[in-house]
Amino acid sequence: MRNYVAVVLGLLLVIGFVSTAGATTDWKSLKTENFTVFYKPGYEWEAKQTLANLEYYQADVVKLTGNKKIGHIPIVVYDAGTFPNGFCNPMFKNIGIFTYTPRLGGENWYRDVGVHEYIHMGHLTKTGGAPGVLTTIFGTLWQPNLFSPGWVAEGIATYGESQASPYEGRLNDGFFDAYINCRSAEGKFPSINTATHLSFDEYPGGGSSYLYGGTFFKYLSSKYGEDKFAKFFELEGSSLLSYLGPMFPSLGIDRSAKKTYGKSLSQLFREWQEYTQSKTKDWHIEGERLTHYGWDLSYLTIYGRKLYYVREYPKKTGAFKGFMFSEVVERDLDTQKEKVVVSFTSTFNASLRVEDGKLYYLVWELKKGYKSSPFDHFGFISSLHEKDLVTCEDRILLKDEIRAFCPLGDGKIIYSIDKEHGFGSELWVYSEDGKKLLFESGYLIGEILSTSAGIFVSARKDWENLSIYLLDLDKKSFSPVVHTPWIETSLSEADGLLLFTANYGGVYSIYGYDPKIEKLYRLTRNGYANSPVMDKKENILYFAGLSSDGFDLFKKRIDSLSEFTPIVYKESPKPDLSFKTEVKEGGYLDNLKTLSPKIHTLYSFPGAYFAGGDAVGENSYALDLSYDSDKKKTKGKIYLGSTFFAPSTLGFEYVFEDSIGLTWSYPLVQRLAPGLAQLSVSLGGKAYGGADYPRKQLTPGLSCCFNYPGFMAGAGIDCLLERKNLGGDIDRTGWETTALISKYIHNSQLDILGRGIYDPDNPDPEKITIRGYKESLEANIGGALTIEHSLPLFKIRKGLWNPNIFFNDMGLVGFTDAAFSKNRTTQASIGIEFQQEISLSYLESLGLVNLGFAVNKDKQSTTYFNIRLF
């Protein structure tokens, strides 16, 4: 009977969430035969842009992936401030589109991101044959193409996004080709295992699947034809053996590749390598390489005899451990010595500017109040900083959705933010007296540079790439200076010569423009060059060049200027996005229709698992059922979650005849700047202890986190309350605390972890386990302390494709553990652990092989071995 009571209670909670949402929500929708686009009031322009592009390119995606049964797909328009992104959820069958256009966002962001994510949906849900039957019966978890390597999934989407226009998509940009050519020229062409199992500190990091996968599919298309992709996905999606592919590719994805191309994926990778190496023997970057940092180096600027640039990079400190660093570096052009002048905990997102001895820079920050953001209603904005290079005083001048800025030299700063609910920019001016809107424009301004010849901007109209214009603030006009279908950006000035980067023909090179005589010059020709600045005293050009490790600082002497006449490129035709099909309007009821379970699979013991959620991501649920044949009763768990009241998060969990609980959490503070990064409060209520629920517990909690470059500290405290007058068996007031400090120390990491328990009235003491002891320490009052020093030992980074197992890096951990309780029982140990990172299957199922040796305070030694899977 109590099972039914709990189920009814859970259903009442669902009804409560849904009925409240139905009464108060303001989600709207636009519907066609293929899509339903959800959006908040005011975002109709963004919703129509999304829907029109998806409808126009829908047939192209179907042809590319071979999936004629993608079905009706919900699309959600999210505004998370200046955060550009998109995602595809093939399990729950929905897509998310973020409204902010990235700095180099192609000709139209909604086409670029929409097509990319829809290709994911077409590829990953392509299912037929016996797997198609299993998917119909048991849900989306059984779609075989879900089990593709990451670089296959991202590769086909990156390839597809690049077919709509020769000037849009990452395969047309030029950087991807340059990086592959660079690796090939250095004899470091990526193997199929490298593309699959990239280490945390190995460039290009999270972008590897897009880069390696996209360029590989580009090669396959040129060699074998684009039409083969659909066959490949069809074979993979209709074979039962595909389920074995992640661990044994020869039985799954290689088998599909051989039937399509006559060769396995590893053979095709080697073929691609041979082809690339044959055409990159002479590939090189001009000039002299000055640094050997790798990763990201950008936003160069010169002030006096100092060069400034942004450097962002990871540091690995042990097995699955590491830190990210974001810095502004100052380089003395006379001595070539460097020092870090700004170290930050967020990402730099605009060009550096220096004026009157002050450095101006822009970094990401978080702000509450974005009602359509999936990040608990937090969105990204930018903080404009001014740092005095003499006194080192750093202050925030302004926080807004700033895309570009430039000091004007008279105490004023001009900056742009994107026009709300339309294409273009608002141009503002900031001074000590405040900020003022100058005018709105149909141009999206990506960069601003004030020079003696006027204000130049890198800007674009919709359906164009960034070009260079002369901005007249009085006339509110944009006069084209350099305008092509390609990208012109990264502006700087040297004695009247306007320097910029362009990717003509898909090759990043540096150019100059003399506004007095209106002539163009080309300063680099080979390899890859970006973010130029000129030391006019020595006639030295500094720029960001490329190596297999990422970007580094290069220099090249410029003794003379070579005049350049750009090729006249044919512009990409703008698609006709007028709707050819009926568009209906709707509301939250359309979202409720998406709540049906997408996963409904069976267990063999026997059991069943159901899971689903709404399209907009506010409500989710899971039901896990099994039958105990010995006790002849049903066991199970129900989970409900809701972020409808975001930034509050609500959760409900019921375990049959064991426990029932509710949780609530609320973020008070979320920041990216150094200092207090997170502060949250929570409240939990739980009845447990068996079918009669004799224990009833209330748990208020508080957690916080502080973040600095190379340092993190966090702590949490929970109060554990039980009262007889609330229906419980006991009166109880207890406390549990946890704390963590992590510090970067020269390629290694120091961690201090603490746990404290004060719970004298709890009849079920906590178990505290430390290394070096077989028995746990039981305590109502007690705690534990761990100090670890981790460091990397070896970069193995080798493995097998068949079967798919990869050994990444090995780390060493030295530790000391201690545990204590009120009854004066104390445990203590010291020891070391050798930790080997492994990846099982090309789905990157990560594991840690751990071999440890510990000696406790009683001088007893223990050797142990375990494998932890993540």
The model's confidence at residue 823, banded by pLDDT at 50, 70 and 90, is confident
Do residues 721 and 728 lie in contact, with contact meaning Cβ atoms separated by under 8 Å?
Answer: no
Q: Tens digit of pLDDT for each residue in 254-295? A: 999 999 999 999 999 999 999 999 999 889 999 999 999 999
Give mean pLDDT, residues 158-184: 98
249 phi, psi to nearest 5 deg: -55, -30
Both tokens of 749, joined, read 């990491």
In the prediction, which pLDDT does 627 show?
A: 84
As to burial, measured by CB atoms within 10 angstroms (0-12 exposed, 13-18 middle, 19+ buried), residue 30 is: buried
Both tokens of 598, joined, read 């997408």
Say yes or no to pLDDT of 567 above 90: no
Say yes or no to pLDDT of 2 above 60: no
Say yes or no to pLDDT of 23 above 50: no
The CA R_g of the chain, rounded to the nearest whole Å, is 29
Say yes or no to pLDDT of 415 above 80: yes
Q: Tens digit of pLDDT for each residue in 617-627? A: 999 999 999 88
Give mean pLDDT, residues 191-197: 95
Q: Tens digit of pLDDT for each residue in 714-769? A: 999 999 999 999 888 999 999 999 999 999 999 999 999 999 999 999 999 999 99
In the prediction, which pLDDT does 845 show?
A: 85
CA-based nearest residue to 846, from 314, 192, 321:
321
Q: Report the topology of domain 288-563.
A: Neuraminidase (2.120.10)
CA within 13 Å, CB half, 494: 21
Q: Tens digit of pLDDT for each residue in 587-612? A: 999 999 999 999 999 876 788 999 99
The model's confidence at residue 8, banded by pLDDT at 50, 70 and 90, is very low
CATH of range 26-118; options 3.40.50.920, 3.30.2010.30, 3.30.200.20, 1.10.357.10: 3.30.2010.30
In the prediction, which pLDDT does 354 show?
A: 98
In the prediction, which pLDDT does 306 show?
A: 98
Q: Tens digit of pLDDT for each residue in 381-394? A: 999 999 999 999 99
Q: Tens digit of pLDDT for each residue in 849-867? A: 999 999 999 999 999 999 9
Say yes or no to pLDDT of 338 above 70: yes
Owner of token pair 């703008």: 574
Q: Tens digit of pLDDT for each residue in 90-138? A: 999 999 999 999 988 789 999 999 999 999 999 999 999 999 999 999 9
- Domain limits of the chain? 26-118, 126-283, 288-563, 588-656
**pTM of the predicted model as reported, rounded to 2 decimal places:** 0.95
CA-based nearest residue to 111, from 35, 162, 155:
162
Give mean pLDDT, residues 209-220: 98
Q: Tens digit of pLDDT for each residue in 497-551? A: 999 999 999 999 999 999 999 999 999 998 999 999 999 999 999 999 999 999 9
Say yes or no to pLDDT of 443 above 60: yes
Q: What is the DSSP letter of 348?
A: B
In the prediction, which pLDDT does 604 show?
A: 67
**pLDDT > 70: what percent of the chain?**
97
C-alpha distances out from residue 795 to 395, 466, 588, 850, 860, Å: 41, 41, 52, 16, 33
What is the overall mean pLDDT for the chain?
95
C-alpha distances out from residue 618 to 25, 38, 66, 392, 402, Å: 11, 13, 32, 45, 29
Give mean pLDDT, residues 323-343: 98
Torsion over CA: 792, 796, 798, 804 (sign): negative
Q: Tens digit of pLDDT for each residue in 142-164? A: 999 999 999 999 999 999 999 99
In the prediction, which pLDDT does 12 show?
A: 42
